[in-house]
A and B are shown apart, each in its own frame.
Chain A
Amino acid sequence: MAEVKTAEFKQASGRAIRNPGIQHALDHVMSHFTEARAAVIEADYGDESWESMRTRAAALKSHTIERLDYYLDLVDKNVRRNGGHVYFADDAAHANRIVLEIAERAGVKRVIKSKSMVSEEMGINPALEGAGIEPVETDLGEYIIQLAGETPFHIIAPAMHKTRQEVSDLFQDWLKTAPTDDIKRLCVIARDALREKFEAADMGISGANFVVAETGTVVLVTNEGNGRMTTSVPRVHVAISGMEKILPAMEDLPLFLRLLPRSATGQRITSYNTFVGGPRAASDEDGPEEFHLILVDNGRLNLLKDEVLREALNCIRCGACLNHCPVYRKIGGHAYGWVYSGPIGAVVTPPMTNTKIARDLPFASTLCGACRDVCPVKIDLPRLLLHLRQRVAEGDGVDGPANGWSERAFARRWYNAVKTRKALESSTRLARMLQRPIVRRGVIRKLPLPLVAGWTKDRDFPALAPKPFRQRWREGLGGD
């Protein structure tokens, strides 16, 4: 499984905030995404309102997740009826083994990959390399970060943090091409390099944006054309999907084909939508001879079994929550330390990986709710974050409380101070005495306490008012 580096969240966030290149990229790219999304939604092409579409989509996904076993079974039956193979992978290691077995049986030496977040979870590339197979990312952004040896910075735009200069340097190092600052030229370099790979590949590994249970169809939503190459040219096609990406019926697709591109890139529709129903028919001119679909758990069961967290499985991986999140917009994707970032990353990472390693994530949010407003399937992300916070603070029935002593002490102090009026009045009276040495002209410039010291680095902290409101009320404001 891809390494979980979330324990370094605070340090990594700090580094991102202090990195002018990353800040510049975030400023530029995020507003591009949010403006494009707003414009395409406002253009309002159809009879159905955006709000109505979201509501229907949320209900449909919840319906599907509540019956996931039924629909997984239906996918299996229909893909096999189409002549494909279906596998149920418990975890990343299991999924990697399946891919390697398929590759070995088919004598595969060269693999091309189109975008798949699940394959990032799996860490499939090192696994393939370990077996002497060369995997090449064909999505331009994924290709760039593959050359750079990095993880994706954003769900939709994995290389958004790279400048054209950095991309040129990468191509110069790896492809021996001449440096250039012309973006069109850089794309041509990538196109030419990858074109040979397309032609020579034995196996294509793709993700899946949706899997239609009724017909056993894997749906890819793309712009570049590499998705089509990956699923058409090599003789073996392996599609990897999280087990939750299912839609029940073919006629459910229009709704999601409208919601996803608008939410993700502000497009009415992407350049390509590819619908894979299995291997080529005997009478087809080209296409893969083998089709394999791997449905992956890898921790999704932990979301499924929690009645509140289950909603997170409705996610269609559009990235809108990232684009609107005040936290993501300052720290970018790498700080989250795993595959998924932004609000959805903060929700799924602790249950899917290990709560203790990722325990900071649910707290790294102001709960502003901007994500919930833009989610095309109306996932109540703040509610899920609050639920995860409770699990950290109070234990989740399996693990005990996982937060630090200073926070537990703070919580206990708060509770004891607000239980009753008397408790409040006596604790604040004490605090007023204690604050006197550090108050200057009504403010505190340096707070020497653990947990809260960070505040005063950039901000003054207010002093407790000499006379609280309740005292003023008693002394006359309230009347006789």
Chain B
Amino acid sequence: MPTPDEHENKEAFLKRVREALGRSEPILHTPDHASLKTTPPRQEEKVRTIQAKVEARRPQLIARLAEIAGAASWNVHRVNTVEGAAATVAEIAGRANAKSIVRSAEEVFSRVDVDGALRRRGLSWTVLASGGRRRRSDLKRLAFASDLGITGVTFAIAETGSCVITPRRGVARLTSLAPATLVLIVEAEQVLESLDDFFAITRLGYQRDRGRSPSYFNFISGPSRTADIEQTLTIGVHGPGEVHMVLVGQ
């Protein structure tokens, strides 16, 4: 329910904008803009084509993702099996001398037994998810105290070397933001070719779930960085300064 003051101004504001554009009447129909007008059936067809393409070219896309990400200061680890992936994650944690590990609660961990691998190394971790039981302030505190985070992704985009994180139940935003070291597990089926692929799929999701699609998602395309002092590049400011992509399968 909008608060009273929010809409007092809207009609007057829009009227001034309209008049500035030389129109007296509002536009009533969707403008002739292709991206807006694609109906759900056509969008579905588009997405099916993307999925077919991505499946057919999977090995090349994975290779491309690894190449672009590697050039963008990701540490890329390619592994063939879920066991290898789990071991790699634990090895990264070991080498980073991580004292306070957090991970999300995601489906990928039922396939990639990170918990087992960490345990075997004598490392402990916290699942940064509550399902409503953990208090907000606790979750925040734990996240800010952590030094290594592990999550899955919803997609990875080869064109830009990006991982897409979609916070939801079990996946806290801070897991991939607060720790200084971040490990993302990407499974082969999650790799897309381009930004266009990703947004076509996201749009279909939005069309299907009218207003109930993700409240927030994020691309991570490398470590946190700045060049604000003397144009000199420094890696690792507020977000993780060391990012690892564990790329499973082909």
Contact = CB atoms under 8 A, between A and B. Distances in A.
A–B in direct contact per CB < 8 Å? yes
Interface of A: 25, 28-29, 32, 45-46, 63, 66-70, 72-73, 76, 78, 80-83, 85-90, 94, 98, 101, 138-141, 144, 157-160, 162-164, 167, 183-184, 186-187, 190-191, 194-195, 198-199, 214-215, 223-226, 228-229, 231-233, 235, 243, 248-254, 257-258, 265, 268-281, 283-287, 297, 301, 304-305
B84 interface: no
A277 B215 contact: yes
Contacts of A271: 220-225, 239
B38 to A, nearest CB: 8
B203 to A, nearest CB: 5
B10 interface: yes
A249 B36 contact: yes
Contacts of B200: 251
Nearest to B33: A248
Contact of A29 (B72, B169, B177, B231): B231
A81 B226 contact: no
Contacts of A86: 2, 6, 10
A250 B35 contact: yes
Interface of B: 2-3, 5-6, 9-10, 13-21, 23, 26-27, 31, 33, 35-36, 38, 68, 72, 128-130, 136, 139-141, 143-144, 159-162, 167-174, 177, 194-196, 199-200, 202-203, 206, 211-232, 234, 236-240
Contacts of B16: 297, 301
Contacts of A249: 33, 35-36, 203
B41 to A, nearest CB: 16
A422 B44 CA distance: 75
Given A88-B10, A141-B228, 8 more contacts: A144-B228, A198-B144, A253-B195, A254-B199, A268-B68, A269-B72, A272-B239, A285-B172
B140 A88 contact: no
A257 B162 CA distance: 12
A325 B192 CA distance: 39
Nearest to B222: A271
Contacts of A167: 229
Contacts of A81: 211
A231 B160 CA distance: 23
B250 to A, nearest CB: 23
A187 B6 contact: no
Contacts of A139: 228
Contact of B130 (A80, A248, A285): A285
B88 to A, nearest CB: 23
7 contacts: A68-B21, A162-B230, A232-B174, A269-B219, A271-B221, A277-B215, A286-B172
Contacts of A87: 5-6, 9
A285 B132 CA distance: 7
B202 to A, nearest CB: 6
A139 B82 CA distance: 39
A283 to B, nearest CB: 4
Nearest to A30: B231
B167 A284 contact: yes
B158 to A, nearest CB: 11
B211 A285 contact: no
A224 B221 contact: no
Given A187-B226, A225-B238, A248 B140 contact: no
Given A88-B13, A252-B35, A228 B237 contact: no
Given A140-B237, A167-B229, A229-B177, A280 B35 contact: no
- 6 nearest interchain CB pairs? A225-B239, A225-B238, A249-B35, A285-B172, A254-B195, A305-B20
A271 B161 CA distance: 10
A249 B143 CA distance: 34
A76 B9 CA distance: 12
B177 A223 contact: no
A87 B14 CA distance: 12
A215 B26 CA distance: 20
A226 B238 contact: yes
A73 B14 contact: yes
- Residue in B36, B128, B159 whose Cβ sees the most chain A Cβ within 10 Å: B36
Contacts of A78: 211
A243 to B, nearest CB: 7
Contacts of B31: 63, 67, 70, 248
- Residue in B33, B159, B228 whose Cβ sees the most chain A Cβ within 10 Å: B228
A369 B169 CA distance: 52
A268 B228 contact: no
Contact of B229 (A32, A183, A250, A304): A183
B216 A225 contact: no
Contacts of B218: 228, 272-275
